[in-house]
Amino acid sequence: MKLKLGKIVKFKKAKAPNNNKIIGKYVVVEPLNIKKHSKDLFKNYQTDSQNLNWKYLSYGPFKSLNSFKKWLNNFCINYDPFFYAVYSKRHKQFTGMLSYLDIQRDHGSIEIGHINYSTLLQNSVEGTETMYLMMKNAFENLGNRRYAWRCNNLNEKSKKAALRLGFTHEGVFRQMYVHKSRNRDTAWFSILDKEWAKLKKRYLRYLKKTNFDKNLNQIKSL
């Protein structure tokens, strides 16, 4: 009996995330610097009065800037996860954060996660461009084959966002984590390198300045 095997892949190794800024039309995504970014981030996270941003995360919310800084220092200044802060050119401040994680350079697989957009970044062209820039960097600069997204399977907004952004749903890992004393089933999504060229064209059409009015409200959806 002849066993089936995967195709031969001519792949060496993906590059590691680096300290370069990722610059777009509407945002600058830069590696997290606690001294530079924490004050803006903490202030803007306070606009979420119901703390909905933190409901599906394994940490937060934070009651003070000092406790937020302490968490940043303990959790966010690492190679994996590799955190970034998002600077909005329109608002002239840092409005959210996110990271690469599960960085598997030998296999060319990297994940986007720990996404926490303040209300200034949610449902905005800046938020979508941030996703595009991180994806473009993962494929074109770092040389990955797979770009993943995972979230709590109960987080309908996150799952809807993944599909809008071009990810394919792969399935659910049952009872994967316990977060804040609650079970978490994890939904998985991905984009592959062979899918990137077509998806990139879609993003570039969407992000054209002619697709937004003077208040940066979209004319045609992604």
Question: What integer is the mean pLDDT of 11-17?
Answer: 95
* Phi, psi angles (nearest 5°) of residue 93: -160, 170
Pairwise CA distance, residues 154 & 138, whole Å: 27
- Percentage of the residues of the chain whose pLDDT score is greater than 70: 100
Asked whether residue 34 carries a pLDDT value surpassing 90, the answer given is: yes
Q: Is 179 exposed, middle or buried (0-12, 13-18, 19+ CB in 10 A)?
A: middle
**CATH annotation of 22-211:** 3.40.630.30
Residue tagged 């993943």 (tokens): 148
What mean pLDDT comes out for the span 22-41? 98
Per residue in 191-215, pLDDT tens?
Answer: 999 999 999 999 999 999 999 999 9
Intra-chain end-to-end CA distance of the chain, in Å: 48
Q: What is the mean pLDDT of the chain?
A: 96
d(CA 180, CA 72): 18
Calpha distance 52→42 (Å, rounded): 14
Residue 175's pLDDT band (cuts 50, 70, 90): very high
**pTM as predicted:** 0.95
Burial class (CB in 10 A: 0-12, 13-18, 19+), 131: buried
What residue type is 60 in one-letter code?
G
Q: What is the pLDDT of residue 1?
A: 82
**Exposed / middle / buried, residue 152 (Cβ in 10 Å: 0-12, 13-18, 19+):** buried
CA dihedral 153, 55, 58, 93 (to 10 degrees): 120
3-state secondary structure of 114: strand
pLDDT of residue 25: 97
User: Is 2 a residue whose pLDDT tops 90?
Assistant: no
Domain ranges of the chain: 22-211
